[in-house]
Amino acid sequence: MPERKRFCSRADCGAPVGRARGERPGRTEGFCTKCGHPYSFVPKLRAGDIVHGQYEVAGCLAHGGLGWIYLAVDRAVADRWVVLKGLLDTGDQDAMAAAISERRFLAEIEHANIVRIYNFVEHLDQRTGSLDGYIVMEYVGGKSLKEIANARRTPDGRRDPLPVEQACAYGIEALEALGHLHSRNLLYCDFKVDNAIQTEDELKLIDMGAVRRADDDESAIYGTVGYQAPEVAETGPSVASDLYTVGRTLAVLTFDFQGYTNTYADSLPDPDTIEVFRRYESFYRLLVRATDPDPARRFASAQEMAEQLTGVLREVVSLQTGRARPALSTLFGPETRVTDTELFPPLDGDVS
């Protein structure tokens, strides 16, 4: 874990921890000097450890906001691959039981674009004596949007942004997932390029750790600078703040968004300085509305934003190909009986 990514895991703190002083490297374990909360960047589980008598740890995958994320084999269910993710950083058994009970609603979420939650388990760390909680999730193979974006480079090594039509397609899938959560009175809170994976032919949201009920005024709020809506710190998350994160993600994917975590943390650059904005004005207008500082001026729902983003996608493809891509009328078109697997089917003849 690089020192620059080490922060206190306490929700109301977040101070830098484990940093070098002079020539002495930063500690990987210790206590936050600001709030006194313990921290550890040493994996708690090792290959071969058995969690809950069922999940055999294969190794570490990554480090998240609440600790290490592990790949494991479910020995009780056909040796399927699963992911174990830390749920809460606490040694208090009563607090752990309450946290697990509170998060069980996540296991009821089923959607093609959302990672499946299988179980919530407790594990007693034999080395430290701490009781740790883990979310057991579906293992999703593939690359995150961050990895896909970072892999694109120009011949001189600079970042090559994603084609705007590809980013729009990702955004539409993400909005379908968010819309499903919103329909269940849930908020995702932390959509960003790190938290979505392209697997086979679909996008999946993979990190459910920040999901909360829309009427929850007590639990910790998780978000990411540069993606989180500006009002969240004062008024809390909402459907509008979820849609804001999608707009910010689309911006990060489609141009070299320098300063999006500081200078432009709550705004977009001048459209005259961004080529993709000059070329596709409708795309720029969509981002402006999605990231409006006033939540009331943003899209009213994920469905509305997805419909508008689909319209932008059709316009982009039309400009690139020189052929119109009209959508079927939902009021006067023929009755739909078979789902079309192509977003833009080949056109026959001229379009008037």
Q: Which residues have a Cβ under 8 Å from the Cβ of 180 and sit 6 or more positions away?
A: 109, 111, 113, 114
CA dihedral 11, 17, 18, 19 (to 10 degrees): 150
3-state class of 55 per DSSP? strand
The one-letter code for the residue type at 266 is D
* Proportion of the chain in helix, strand, coil states, percent, rounded to 5: 30, 20, 50
Task: Name the residue with tokens 């932390």.
Answer: 190
Rounded Cα gap, residues 116 and 126, in angstroms: 29
Cα separation, 158 vs 36, in Å, equals 41
What is the crossing angle of helices 164-183 and 302-321, to 10°?
A: 160
**What does the alpha-carbon distance between residue 108 and residue 105 come to, in Å, rounded to a whole number?**
6
Residue identified by tokens 């001229």 is 350
**Would you name the residues annotated as active-site residues?**
190
Contacts of 214 (CB under 8 A, 6+ apart): 182, 185, 186, 187, 238, 239
Distance of alpha carbon 170 from alpha carbon 54, whole angstroms = 35
Q: How far apart are CA 188 and CA 209, in angstroms?
A: 9
